[in-house]
Structure 1
């Protein structure tokens, strides 16, 4: 293992001998800039101040010999051979991230239950999408208006985009996804978009509330927190109609594996065999917490759920500035079906 230090931010992290400097930065939750992640675009350029790096396949095309002579490196393709010190400006906000329109191919369609499908998109190898955990993209098909979907995987392998698509009654695009779209189909995506993302500079414990497929961006944020080594307390509340609508077992697995993660499923229309919590998901949070003063709350799902949480949580001491949400309101629904 070698240590990489960014002299601009003061951030330090370790990388393995077979791990690129950029991969190490991403896995530690740092906002190093990048584009293609394949050595072509040059957007990740940094200056090597101390130490030694190497490239497995020679100097990539995204950097010139003159730049190499000036101690410039491409973190997406170089490996630390010693402890190194570099200079690179890290991204600090969504304003720093470029919105792109990229081609993609449908790599996989998996039906998670009767009305939710996991769609995995593969971006070509010479491209990548940099985004923050929790943001969304517009999915573009020539026969439909663009549709907005939250990204359901953490931003660690940014050549892969996972979406959780709910079948909407009368929704032309979601019916197309469920009944006609094939693997290897070609589409486009535009993004990232949205201000719903994990605030990584905070140490506050987090309450994450998902309604239905609002679990998608919550999944991305939790995965990112785990991968980046965060140990902030996370309470996940997932509200659904029936047990089958809890379409992934991941929250239970996280709760079993990590002592800082707690999971509470809440059903509004359970069958007689359900032994868990019943009712509205935001009411379960109100019951479980005496005060929300010191918490950050992330809520994603139907507008009534998000609105009810916002209104009632403030009365429990939550500061409005600590409430982050993505409400699937009417405008969002129009672009999501």
Structure 2
């Protein structure tokens, strides 16, 4: 049977029941992948037509409510003639998923409810700016968190919001200490920095969604990207702001970086920066831009913010395939 791969237009002879990712790799078709187990979403592709069966039904990868059908190549088999589309073949990243042991080197409170964890991995962990990893503190305390720095930094940094009565965050707050061992699995996620274009970049971060956005901006600076970058950091109230000195430092290093900090609730003059805006972060973006055609956007934060921002950016002209998001889902664990 035949598989037509877009946009390359390559035609492959693939046996019935062949794993799609394996078939693409054997025929030299560029496609991103990592975990090979259906967790990271990196090998997502679009089924234009034909017969592809995806084991497990990974419906969350169609969370953008588009009528198109998407599948994970690593979890799919070819069951008939079909046409698939590989997204951004010139932006392929391959970071084989690894499980590494890491040692806690630092714990620091960044705000009243955000704690930073720094880890020194026993072996290097390769990842792209914007990706995340699964942290296992004990067999009963496991949660995904985004890297805030770069793979080249050597140490891994994570920003954790302390959820009241949260099982994992309570462990981090009350028990975790420097010198403890943490198991790190990754990388995961598709909202990583694309470097092979000069399109303007819009980053919208909510809360600890600032962590992957910091990684993305740091990655853009390290890569020497000339792209203009507009970064919007949305917080609930002025007391929730953190990392502002990092944002100021990055703005000094990248002459085309503009930063806006937006608080949903107003605060007292004594605890507000002079440049702090009030309102929803999506309202600020809507006020600042009439159109965003040709832009690329990275959205990091809670699902309601990501969903609202996605609708806004599409209305402003951002192509759906150029909106990258790994929403943060709250957990009582």
In the superposition, the TM-score normalised over structure 2's length comes to: 0.69
Question: Are positions 1:202 and 2:197 aligned together?
Answer: yes
Deviations 1:119-140 (A, max 9, x none): 000012xx21001111110001
Cα gap change, 1:319/1:92 in structure 2, threshold over 3 Å: closer, same or farther? closer
2-structure distance, mates of 1:149, 1:314: 27
1:105–1:184: 8 Å Cα contact kept in structure 2? yes
SS at 1:146's partner residue?
Answer: strand
SS at 1:327's partner residue?
Answer: coil
- 1:228: Cα distance to partner? 1.6
The aligned counterpart of 1:180 is 175
Deviations 1:259-289 (A, max 9, x none): 2000000000121314431111011111101
SS at 1:198's partner residue?
Answer: coil
Correspondence for 2:187 among 192, 195, 218: 192
Unaligned runs of 5+ in 1: 1-90
The aligned counterpart of 1:162 is 157
1:241–1:270: 8 Å Cα contact kept in structure 2? no
The aligned counterpart of 2:289 is 289
Unaligned runs of 5+ in 2: 1-89
1-structure distance, mates of 2:247, 2:240: 13
Query: Runs (4+) of structure 1 moved beyond 6 Å?
Result: none
2-structure distance, mates of 1:123, 1:131: 13
- 1:257: Cα distance to partner? 4.1
Number of residues of Structure 1 aligned to a counterpart in Structure 2: 239
The aligned counterpart of 1:93 is 92
2-structure distance, mates of 1:193, 1:212: 20
The aligned counterpart of 2:124 is 128
1:137–1:148: 8 Å Cα contact kept in structure 2? yes
The aligned counterpart of 1:211 is 206
Bigger Cα displacement from structure 2, 96-105 vs 138-147:
138-147
- 1:235: Cα distance to partner? 0.4
Question: Are positions 1:240 and 2:239 aligned together?
Answer: no
The aligned counterpart of 2:62 is none
Written as runs of structure 1 = structure 2, the 5 A alignment for 1:248-267 is: 248=243, 249-267=245-263
1-structure distance, mates of 2:300, 2:195: 18
Written as runs of structure 1 = structure 2, the 5 A alignment for 1:1-337 is: 93-94=92-93, 96-124=94-122, 127-157=123-153, 159-248=154-243, 249-273=245-269, 274=272, 275=274, 276-329=276-329, 333-334=330-331, 337=333
2-structure distance, mates of 1:130, 1:179: 30
In the superposition, the TM-score normalised over structure 1's length comes to: 0.68
The aligned counterpart of 1:60 is none
- 1:208: Cα distance to partner? 0.3
